[in-house]
Amino acid sequence: MIEMKGIVKHFGTLRALDRVSLDVYDGEKVVIIGPSGSGKSTLLRSINSLEWIDAGTIRVDGYDIHDTKTDINKIREEIGMVFQSFNLFPHKTVMENLTLAQRVVRKRSKAESIRIASDLLEKVGIREKANQYSTNLSGGQQQRVAIARALAMQPRLMLFDEPTSALDPEMIGEVLDVMVKLAKEGMTMVVVTHEMGFAREVADRVLFMDEGKIIEQGDPEHFFSNPSHERTRQFMDQIIQ
Partner 1 sequence: MVEIKKQADDTTKHVTIDVGDGVAIPSKKDRGLFTAWRVAFFGAIAIIAGLVISSPDPYWDILKFVPDGILVTFQVTVESILLALLIGLFTGLGRISKNPLINGIASLYVEVIRGIPLLVQLFYLYFALGRIVNMPPMTSAILAMSICYGAYMGEIFRAGIQSIPDGQMEAARSLGMSSSQAMFHVILPQAFKTILPPVGNEFVALLKDSSLVSILAVSDLLRRGREFAAESFDYFETYTMVALIYLLITLFLSKLISIMEDRIGIENE
Which positions lie near partner 1, rule CB under 8 A?
11, 14, 16, 35-39, 41-42, 48, 50-51, 73-74, 76-77, 79-81, 83-91, 100-101, 104-106, 134-135, 139, 146, 149-150, 153, 165-166
For partner 1, the closer of residues 16 and 130 by Cβ is 16
Q: Which of 221, 176, 201, 189 is nearest to 29 (CA)?
A: 189
Minimum CB–partner distance for residue 80 and partner 1 (Å): 8
Minimum CB–partner distance for residue 148 and partner 1 (Å): 12
Minimum CB–partner distance for residue 89 and partner 1 (Å): 6
For partner 1, the closer of residues 31 and 192 by Cβ is 192
Q: Nearest 5°: CA angle at 95, between 182 and 174? A: 35
Helix axes 139-151, 94-104, angle to 10 degrees: 20
| Furthest-apart CA atoms within the chain: distance in Å | 55
In the 8-state DSSP scheme, what is residue 131? T
For partner 1, the closer of residues 93 and 222 by Cβ is 93
DSSP letter for each residue of 37-89: TSSHHHHHHHHTTSS--SEEEEEETTEETTSTTS-HHHHHHTEEEE-TT----
For partner 1, the closer of residues 13 and 225 by Cβ is 13
Minimum CB–partner distance for residue 16 and partner 1 (Å): 8
